[in-house]
Amino acid sequence: MRDGAYVQAVDGARFDLAAGECLALVGESGCGKSVLASALLGLLPGNAETAGSAFVGDLDLLAADEHTLARTVRGRRVGLVPQSPAAHLTPVRTVRSQLREVVRELTGARGTRLAAAVEEAAARAAFPGGHLDRYPHELSGGLAQRAATALALVGDAPLLLADEPTTGLDRDLVDRTVDELRRHIGSDRALLLITHDLAAAERIADRVAVMYASRVVELADAACFFGTPGPQHPYARGLLNALPDREFTPIPGMPPELGALPDGCAFAERCDRADALCAVGPALRDGVACHHPATVPLEAPRA
């Protein structure tokens, strides 16, 4: 709720995620991606309401109480690489101290085994051992990101949520970070990558879900999405065409406020395909929510 009115930040999002898979949830800032991640972990504000279900195994995350979420979900069934790692690290404790606590809690390691496990957790996220005794304010943005990633990977949770894990990083560090996250995936583990960085998504995703104005408007195989035939939804196609190695053409206009969504298709005002049919919001069918999906294959990116 905002200013006495409800804001529907996520509406009808529906997708699955199999073990061994990375699903990239992409879209412009403010479309509801991070709200969805917070809902899965029970981290929404107290005045927020959720409906529906979100299962990890046989547990419905949206129906779980705080005790269950705190004791059996966070870090154990679902790990989180937060959007702002520096803000989630305890400022008065060293990285080593925070890793020790998480490793001890999630693995039961003690003594010399605990010390070794902390070093191993840091190495797994490529966090330098020589920086373990530093405090968060002594870390660069990239190192804070790696510290947060190390903490998230400790429990080998079946589902890892990475919420904008590459924000503020240079391209080389982006690639290294997402590669580390990809290595987390195994026969019993999956990754939900929430990002506006399409290059990062293309690098590691198996499937792509595109979110616009609170709704998933396209769900596609990553190879088809980034290659041929390309996205079918005009918004998703516009996202790709805005990249420097493609047309480098921005999508005209601005997305609507989530508290003032129009009737019908929320993208209609920005879309050159819109007509009278778009006064009724399309449902997600065959992977795309559009009355006029694109059918011409998208041009490959320039070399």
pLDDT of 6 reads: 79
User: How many folded domains does the chain comprise?
Assistant: 1
pLDDT of 276 reads: 95
- Is residue 148 one of the residues assigned to a domain? yes
| Residues of the domain holding 93 | 22-221
- Is residue 232 one of the residues assigned to a domain? no
- Is residue 178 one of the residues assigned to a domain? yes
Per-residue pLDDT of the chain (303 residues; tens, 9 = 90+): 556 667 889 998 999 999 999 999 999 888 999 999 999 999 999 889 999 999 999 999 999 999 999 999 999 999 999 888 877 899 999 999 999 999 999 999 999 999 999 999 999 888 999 999 999 999 988 889 889 999 999 988 999 999 998 877 788 878 888 998 998 898 899 999 999 999 999 999 999 999 999 999 999 999 999 999 999 999 999 999 999 988 889 999 999 988 889 999 999 999 999 999 999 999 999 999 999 998 877 776 655
- Amino acid identity for residue 286 in this structure: D
For 272, the 3-state DSSP assignment is coil
- Is residue 9 one of the residues assigned to a domain? no
- Is residue 273 one of the residues assigned to a domain? no
- Is residue 284 one of the residues assigned to a domain? no
pLDDT of 125 reads: 85
- Amino acid identity for residue 180 in this structure: E
- Is residue 261 one of the residues assigned to a domain? no
- Is residue 279 one of the residues assigned to a domain? no
pTM of the entire predicted model:
0.91
For 299, the 3-state DSSP assignment is coil
pLDDT of 300 reads: 62
For 148-179, give the DSSP string.
HHHHHHTT--SEEEEESTTTT--HHHHHHHHH
CATH number at residue 53: 3.40.50.300
pLDDT of 278 reads: 96
pLDDT of 286 reads: 93
For 29-45, give the DSSP string.
TTSSHHHHHHHHTT-S-
